[in-house]
Amino acid sequence: MDGSDPSEDLFMAIVTQDDDAVAAALARGGDPTVANAAGMTALHVACGAADAEDIVEALLRHGAKPAMRDMNGWSSLMYASSGGQHKVVRMLLDSGECSIHAATTCDSGWTALTRACQRGHVAVVKLLLAAMGGEADAAADSPAAEASGHASPVLAPRADLVKALAVAEALDHGECAAAVRAALEALGSPTAAAAGEA
C-alpha cells in the first residue's frame, strides 16, 4: 500500500473487514472523517457491516464523527440501528455525539428508532428507547443537524415514537411495537392509544 492514499486504504480495509489493514491505514494517517462519493465516511461503512465492533472502536478512537451524515442524511447510528448492530449502537450512544431523534433528509425523515422498528431489531429498539429517557427535546440547530453540511431535521421525542410505533405495527413487529407503545404511555401520550388502533 506504499504511496497509496491512507484514507482510501481505510475504506478498502473496512469493506474487507481486515482489522490489521484498518489499523495500518489509521497509523499512516487515514482520516475517518473523509467521505466517499456517496458522502459516506469510514464510520458509516463500518456501522453498516456485520461484526465490525473492533473497527468501529478503532475509528472512534481516531476521531471519527458519529454525527456526520451521508448525502441522504443517514448517520452512523441509523446504519447501525438498521442493521441490528446492538454493540455498535451502544458504542455510538456512549460517544455522546449522536442525536437519537435526528431524522434523515430523505424518505420522510426516519430516525434510528424508526429504522430499527422497520427491521424488527427488538434489542436495538429497547436500547434506543432507554437512551431516549435521558434526552431532552433537541433543537434543529443541534450539532447532529449541522454535521457535514447536510442539515437534518430533529424530531421531538413524542413524534419520533409515534412514527416508530406506526412502522412497527404496519410491519407486524409486535415486540418492537409493544416497547414503543410502553414508552409513549410513559410520556402520558394520548396518541399512544390512537396509534395502536390505527
Q: Per-residue pLDDT tens for 10-35? A: 999 999 999 999 999 999 999 999 99
In the CATH hierarchy, which top-level class contains the domain 6-197? mainly alpha
Question: Which residues does 174 contact at the CB level (< 8 Å), separation at least 6?
Answer: 168
Read off φ and ψ for residue 3, nearest 5 degrees.
80, -10
Q: What radius of gyration do the chain's Cα atoms show? A: 17
Distance, in Å, from the CA atom of 94 to the CA atom of 155, rounded to the nearest integer, reads: 21
Q: Is the pLDDT of residue 140 over 70?
A: no
Q: Indicate the domain borders of the chain.
A: 6-197
Distance, in Å, from the CA atom of 171 to the CA atom of 139, rounded to the nearest integer, reads: 30
Residue with cell 497509496: 4
Specify the pLDDT at position 197.
47
Q: Residue 3: CA atoms inside 13 Å, Cβ hemisphere, count?
A: 0
pTM above 0.85, yes or no: no
Distance, in Å, from the CA atom of 195 to the CA atom of 164, rounded to the nearest integer, reads: 10
Specify the pLDDT at position 53.
96
